[in-house]
Amino acid sequence: MQTFALQTVLKDITVKEQTMKSVTTVAEMFPQDAQVFNLGVPHYGCMGKVCSTHGGNATVLFKIPPEPNLTKIFKKMHTMSSYHPGWKIASNVGITGYLLSRITGSIYIYYPETRKWSIGLNLKFTKEKSGIAGFTKRKDNEWLYSDAV
């Protein structure tokens, strides 16, 4: 079993433990051999053990795991996720590039006249020049579509 840090936030705590005493020194807060986690950069989330405390400082030994070897993934990356220009996707499905661009973006209809409905796929946002990860991306002023589209 592996120990790891799980960072949480509790909002509006209404119950407070009366027996809890306030910590006054670093040595009280971090006793020797206490298990701690790094919440700073680098090595966020690494587990460590308090070796000693002196004055207002604590000496901590962190266990820094080795970086994973991603070489095989980087070599296969081009086959794992390929993106194609819009005109190519459009010709494969028999529509125009303009229609593909409209369908994958935002399309609004009004029915009745006072009600606005969004019927586009919203896979790309032209004004922000951003797309949905894994589906669309913008490169060299052109929208590219993944095989998932």
Q: How many CB atoms lie within 10 A of CB 131?
A: 22
Q: Which domain holds residue 123?
A: 82-146
Count of structural domains, the chain: 2
Q: How confident is the model at residue 94 (pLDDT cuts 50, 70, 90)?
A: very high
SS3 46: coil
Query: Are residues 87 and 140 located together in one domain of the fold?
Result: yes
Alpha helices in 37-126 (DSSP H): 71-80, 86-93, 97-104
In the predicted structure, residue 8 carries a pLDDT above the cut 80: no
- The amino acid at residue 120 is G
20 belongs to a structural domain = no
Which band of pLDDT confidence, cut at 50, 70 and 90, is reported for residue 2?
low
Q: Is residue 112 assigned to a domain?
A: yes
Question: Is residue 13 domain-resident?
Answer: no
Q: What is the pTM of this model?
A: 0.45
Note the pLDDT tens digit of each residue in 38-85.
Answer: 888 888 888 999 999 988 899 999 989 888 888 888 887 766 668 899
Residue 135 in any domain: the answer is yes
Assigned domain for 1 exists:
no
List helix spans (H) across 6-131: 26-29, 71-80, 86-93, 97-104
Tell me the torsion sign for CA atoms 45, 46, 51, 54. Answer: negative
